[in-house]
Structure 1
């Protein structure tokens, strides 16, 4: 657990394990702790580096500007700070867009790339969805109602069959000590809405694995495959019975795909 002073921010990050460096880039409103289900099995094989993106977790301040490209620059600056010339990169959701941008603009820094439930997909529905989720918080919707609404987009139908488990998950989310302030979530939402991927996909040279959740409502597998298929060296896997929070619903399968692809 440490912080690095870079690009005008104090960026919090964690390291676990030893070996080749493997960077994990979190999604919207998430931070390094969002990777908890996969940290231990991946750290058995790699030196994991888990940053809190600007606007999230313990990275400060939360008043600076941000963008997908800016967050990619932060990851590269952290690599420089840690003396990491090249690394494997895994990105989830918004973190996948950050990772794709990084791989396109800094190809010499990426060994292999894994994208989970993501892609440079700017659909009007998803832009409206995330804007609405932020607006609900801005307008004072109760935390309980808000998280239950958000979870609908993150988890498979089976998750909601156990009300006690849902209630426990809501309580954990409500009491998380580094929960993202709504103002910071708005800045990340604006970064997603403003991002123009351009020719990012065709510029990626690193071998790339896309892993989709069969139940993902936000980034359906067929949309993800279609957008990422332009990567020169691309393969694709679908984990059935998992939705957008794929590394929480199917951590063992995610780890298996990642390790197999990276060569472990």
Structure 2
């Protein structure tokens, strides 16, 4: 599997598809496997670049904490090393924070950006959510049980009320050939919870779509509104259905919005 040296670490990536280059950046504790459903469909329109963020998948897990700017620098260096830039990029959750850092610090490697279920800074509720997740992981709780416990924060009652489907979704964690270690998760979490992009978002000049789900309780629409108001080049789109994991629960609507924006079919 392809890897390259960036900022002193070995970083894993994959490139596939045909069309304009599109970078996909995963969320907290997630490797590129988070895009397993979306990437094949996006490859029909784009040359898709998936990466394992520092601390996940087949990328190295150096000692933490990892500042979000470190992750942004890693990813920008990867784009430059591949010679594919400037690229469009989609950042989901923590990936949205990484993408904000890139927009602020490395705008030259980006042509368009989609901040998917993202946020500019942590709230008290998000700190409490993260504290709970860290306690469970440090206690050695089974990953499937951790997944089920976290589901109400990312899925809507439509999926949660179907226990067979919810259980099957949680069981997918057992299929990950390179699960994120506690050390990697903790190192990412430490940087994420202190990241605050708000003071610098007004400097962003890259066209940006802020894409949210109306039912997202983990990163509520108010946070997307805040980012869209701060970024001079941003437009805000709120889908009527879907929570934090709307890419998984409502993939058709979510991917249609992303593809339309990146293809220039929306304002």
Please classify the TM superposition score into its range, dividing by the shorter chain length.
over 0.9
Pairing of 1:71-82 with structure 2 (within 5 A) = 71-82=71-82
Deviates more, 1:109-118 or 1:193-202: 193-202
1:198-239 deviation line (CA, Å, top 9, x unaligned): 522101101110111111111111231123311112111112
Q: Distance in 1 between matches of 2:65 and 2:4?
A: 18
8 Å CA contact 2:153, 2:244 repeated in 1: yes
Counterpart for residue 36 of structure 2: 36
8 Å CA contact 1:10, 1:61 repeated in 2: no
Counterpart for residue 187 of structure 2: 187
- Runs (5+) with no aligned partner, structure 2: none
Give the TM-score normalised by the residue count of structure 2.
0.93
Pairing of 1:8-23 with structure 2 (within 5 A) = 8-23=8-23
Counterpart for residue 87 of structure 2: 87
Counterpart for residue 236 of structure 1: 236
Counterpart for residue 128 of structure 1: 128
8 Å CA contact 1:28, 1:185 repeated in 2: yes
What number of residue pairs does the alignment pair up?
264
Q: Distance in 2 between matches of 1:35 and 1:8?
A: 26
Counterpart for residue 226 of structure 1: 226
Gap change, CA 1:196 and 1:234, over 3 Å in 2: closer
8 Å CA contact 2:118, 2:223 repeated in 1: no
In the alignment, is residue 262 of structure 1 matched against residue 232 of structure 2? Answer: no
How much has 1:159 moved relative to structure 2? Answer: 0.9
8 Å CA contact 2:33, 2:176 repeated in 1: no
> Secondary structure in 2 aligned to 1:229?
helix
> Secondary structure in 2 aligned to 1:194?
coil
Counterpart for residue 68 of structure 1: 68
Counterpart for residue 57 of structure 1: 57
Give the TM-score normalised by the residue count of structure 1.
0.94
8 Å CA contact 1:121, 1:227 repeated in 2: no
> Secondary structure in 2 aligned to 1:172?
helix
How much has 1:171 moved relative to structure 2? Answer: 1.8
8 Å CA contact 1:32, 1:51 repeated in 2: yes
- Runs (5+) with no aligned partner, structure 1: none
Q: Distance in 1 between matches of 2:32 and 2:250?
A: 18
Q: Distance in 1 between matches of 2:196 and 2:212?
A: 22
Q: Distance in 2 between matches of 1:148 and 1:49?
A: 29
Q: Distance in 2 between matches of 1:98 and 1:171?
A: 28
How much has 1:19 moved relative to structure 2? Answer: 2.1
Counterpart for residue 246 of structure 1: 246
How much has 1:62 moved relative to structure 2? Answer: 4.3
Deviates more, 1:225-234 or 1:69-78: 225-234
8 Å CA contact 1:6, 1:78 repeated in 2: yes
8 Å CA contact 2:121, 2:196 repeated in 1: no
Counterpart for residue 177 of structure 1: 177
Q: Distance in 1 between matches of 2:251 and 2:192?
A: 26
Gap change, CA 1:55 and 1:207, over 3 Å in 2: same
How much has 1:181 moved relative to structure 2? Answer: 1.1
